[in-house]
Chains A and B, each alone.
Chain A
Amino acid sequence: MTDTPFDARTWRPPGLIRSSLWRWLLAVTVAIYLASALGSLEINWLRIGQGLGRGVTFLAAFATPDFVTHWRDISEGLAESLTMTGAATVIGIALSLPIGLGAARNIAPMPVYLFCRGVVALSRSFQEVILAIFFVAMFGFGPFAGLVTLSVATIGFFGKLLAEEIEAMDPVQAEAVQATGAGWLQWIDYAVTPQVMPRIIGLSLYRLDINFRESAVVGIVGGGGIGATLNTAFDRYEFETAAAILLIIIGIVMLSEYLSGLIRARVQ
């Protein structure tokens, strides 16, 4: 850039932060933070050096994934994960439909609104894994704990987004249906539902996708599913099996993203 005929140094594309004082202040803060953060890292170079060889082994394992040796464990874990995903998505969405309705300010009366918002906030406040730890402690090891975890997490996600969608709906249509003398249920059925239905379908598919990914995680803390198998594979340094499981997860996620893209394109 320096050998252009005009002085390129005097002009720059406008930055994100206009005021140069703030830009400098921010730069200094970031520099101080980075210095102290990097300074507080305890890096065991020896261990990392040893690990790099193992990392290469693991990457090589992706070229020769081993689906066969532990296929029974893998298929059992996978079946558990998939059924857990399916059931939890259905239960979660079924429970979050009334909660989503209740959490929409333009539909629900104040006490109901506050209650439903509370439920949504509560189930959104913790990570799936933390919920899973508690549900495993309550229900014991196995897919039931995972099912409850994913259902609860779905309620928070789905209820919140559904409520936002309902709040953003067109009030004119709702009023028109109300003017015909429709009862409350009829009103929901004919004025609200058609407006939010495309979004409900899109969100359900998206949540199905998320639930599958999360189902791989709840297994790490004992919630059943493919995560438990994966955890065991890593613990025993069976990288070929771990690579096979990861490839299956990636494959299923890719497939479901592709399918949900197709369905969403049809619905919207």
Chain B
Amino acid sequence: MAGDGELLVWRRRTRARELLVWAGWLLGVSLFIFCWQTIAANTTWYFVADAPRVAADIGDRMVPPKWSYAAKLWGPLWDTINIATLGTILSVLLATPIAFLAATNTTPSTRFVRPLALLIIVSSRSINSLIWGLLLVTIIGPGVVAGIFAITFRSIGFVAKLLYEAIEEIDQRQVEAIAATGANGGQVITFAIWPQILPAFAGTSVFRWDINIRESTVLGLVGAGGIGLELQASINIVAWQQVSVILLAILSTVIVSEWVSAKVRHAVI
């Protein structure tokens, strides 16, 4: 503080801004306290206090993993990979036209078609694949097929969003050049737009496939097939030694898929 106005101390912000920042903090902190109290009111604190003991107990029961159980996991693991892969392929096929309808420079109508495409994208993105799974299991019954469609519906929005952003960023001069040769709409897309978004297309697909492997490992919890079914079953019969084997299997699958996706993306982009 500048005692008698001679010594001025540097300040990062002006008075008004400082007040604004403090007001922001006050608002944030009170919001947090409100949230915390709402949750605390709905919590049985006895269980929370008891948690370390329970955790130690579960940890105790999980080791040693029941390795013989691992042999039974190949089938579910194959299903899991299929759910992720087929779901990704299907979603990419469906997302590509939606992306072209959503991009401002390729959409047939900014007024009618684009908002519809964006609505599809945001709906698909805001609903988690597990909820899609829950929904599809109710509609078409439990199994791998429900899982594939759950992954598909969740991924359409993701793939279409990244793809339409890539389409909007293309070099418009190439499109003009191809159009100047007398190419029709389809030819412009194949020869001017498609080659430009191909790396983004491949990168996005592989990236989503990697995420989908992760997500398909838990789809079984709602009955949509894959290794999650085994997880659910083992938890239900409190077979923690099987649970640890399943978790290790999931972890190694995820690590492998992450490695594959990183390699492919590195090669493409």
Contacts and interface: CB of A to CB of B under 8 A. Distances in A.
Contact of B58 (A40, A138, A142): A138
Interface in A217-267: 217, 220-221, 224, 227, 230-231, 234-235, 237, 242, 246, 249-250, 253-254, 257
B86 A37 contact: yes
Nearest to A230: B131
Contacts of A82: 35
B139 A213 contact: no
Contact of B130 (A58, A138, A143, A220): A220
B95 interface: no
Contacts of A126: 247, 250-251
B42 A224 contact: yes
B38 A44 contact: no
Contacts of A25: none
B145 A84 contact: no
Interface of A is mostly: helix
A83 interface: yes
B108 interface: no
Interface stretch (B63-71, B109-117, B121-129): B121-129
B143 interface: yes
A79 B145 CA distance: 34
A63 interface: no
Interface residues of A, number: 63
A254 B126 contact: yes
A129 B250 CA distance: 13
B221 A221 contact: yes
B215 interface: yes
Given A37-B86, A129-B218, A48 B140 contact: yes
B127 A246 contact: yes
Interface string B40-51: 001110011001
B93 to A, nearest CB: 13
Contacts of B261: none
Contacts of A98: none
B126 A127 contact: no
Interface string B60-97: 00000000000000000011001001100000000000
A51 B139 contact: yes
A51 B82 CA distance: 22
Contact of A58 (B34, B135, B143, B215): B135
A234 B231 CA distance: 22
Interface string A4-36: 000000000110100000000000000001000
Interface in A28-64: 33, 37-38, 40-44, 47-48, 50-52, 54-55, 58
Nearest to A138: B51
B31 A137 contact: no
B130 A217 contact: yes
A43 B148 CA distance: 12
Interface string B20-44: 0000000010011011101100111
Given A51-B140, A257-B122, A138 B54 contact: yes
A253 B82 CA distance: 30
A169 interface: no
B145 A41 contact: yes
Given A14-B195, A44-B143, A237 B58 contact: no
Nearest to B75: A40
Contacts of A1: 187
Given A42-B144, A234-B135, A242-B135, A133 B235 contact: yes
Given A220-B221, A254-B122, A213 B128 contact: yes
Interface string B191-210: 10011001100100000000
Given A80-B42, A133-B235, A231-B134, A42 B139 contact: no
B55 interface: yes
A48 B126 contact: no
8 contacts: A13-B191, A40-B78, A44-B141, A48-B140, A54-B139, A126-B250, A127-B214, A138-B54
Closest 7 pairs between A and B when the two form their complex, measured CB to CB: A253-B126, A140-B47, A51-B140, A83-B35, A87-B35, A86-B35, A47-B141
Given A87-B35, A214-B128, 14 more contacts: A13-B195, A38-B86, A41-B82, A51-B139, A58-B135, A90-B32, A125-B251, A129-B130, A137-B58, A138-B55, A138-B58, A140-B47, A143-B42, A254-B126
Interface of B: 28, 31-32, 34-36, 38-39, 42-44, 47-48, 51, 54-55, 58, 78-79, 82, 85-86, 122-123, 125-128, 130-131, 134-135, 138-141, 143-145, 187, 190-191, 194-195, 198-199, 202, 214-215, 217-218, 221-222, 231, 235, 247, 250-251, 254, 268
